Chains A and B, each alone.
Chain A
């Protein structure tokens, strides 16, 4: 049981480049999330998807877009990367079977130069 899997693990981008972070979960969870974590900070919610076909903004959505491709997959896209988006990104999911506890992936380290 892989849980929440996200790719890539590490990425370096130039300012203005675009990229997509991929996330998949195999726990049949309805809800999926993207968080970012900056040094010395807690996690901040970027976007979430309460169920397949829906997405909502979180605390820090600017500069990002998301797609809930199907129940398993939730991607995060940076259309024009900025140095301020240098961060560690975590995908997560939750569902009724897990008591709505959020389970996190291992993280994607993104550096924008």
Chain B
């Protein structure tokens, strides 16, 4: 899950296994959530998003689950591959409609073992 410290939490998985990365968001008024992937030395890359009127959304090999009751977001990656190794950030929009107010989590480092 997300960390409030300087050391990123790390998730280590075997190639081919499914990965689940968790995120606790802060504001019950948030209505838009995004997952980003950041590879070393690169900018964050959009993976998938979900609005608060949904509790699940699927993409290619990825699924985002939203539990508004406990303010929890998760990213599931199916059949994890070495190319999935990166830091994953969740982000929430706390002002609805204004993208400039995205608040990012600290990130989780995913390490895929061959």
Contacts and interface: CB of A to CB of B under 8 A. Distances in A.
B89 A42 contact: yes
A106 B43 contact: yes
Contacts of B89: 42-43
Interface string B47-88: 001000000000000000000000000000000000000000
Interface residues of B, number: 26
Contact of A44 (B42, B97, B104): B104
A40 B42 contact: no
Contacts of A40: 3, 5-8, 106-107
Given A40-B5, A42-B106, A105 B43 contact: yes
Interface magnitude class on chain A: 20 to 34
A43 B44 contact: yes
Interface string A98-113: 0111111111000000
A16 B72 CA distance: 43
B6 A90 contact: no
Nearest to B45: A104
A99 B7 CA distance: 33
Contacts of B20: none
B112 to A, nearest CB: 20
B100 A33 contact: yes
A31 interface: yes
B21 interface: no
B102 interface: yes
Interface of B: 3, 5-8, 34, 36, 41-46, 49, 89, 91, 97-102, 104-107
Interface of A: 4, 31, 33, 39-45, 48, 50, 56, 58, 90, 92, 94, 99-107
24 contacts: A4-B43, A33-B100, A40-B5, A40-B7, A40-B106, A40-B107, A41-B106, A42-B89, A42-B105, A43-B44, A48-B100, A50-B100, A56-B100, A90-B43, A90-B44, A100-B97, A101-B46, A101-B49, A102-B34, A102-B46, A104-B36, A106-B42, A106-B43, A107-B43
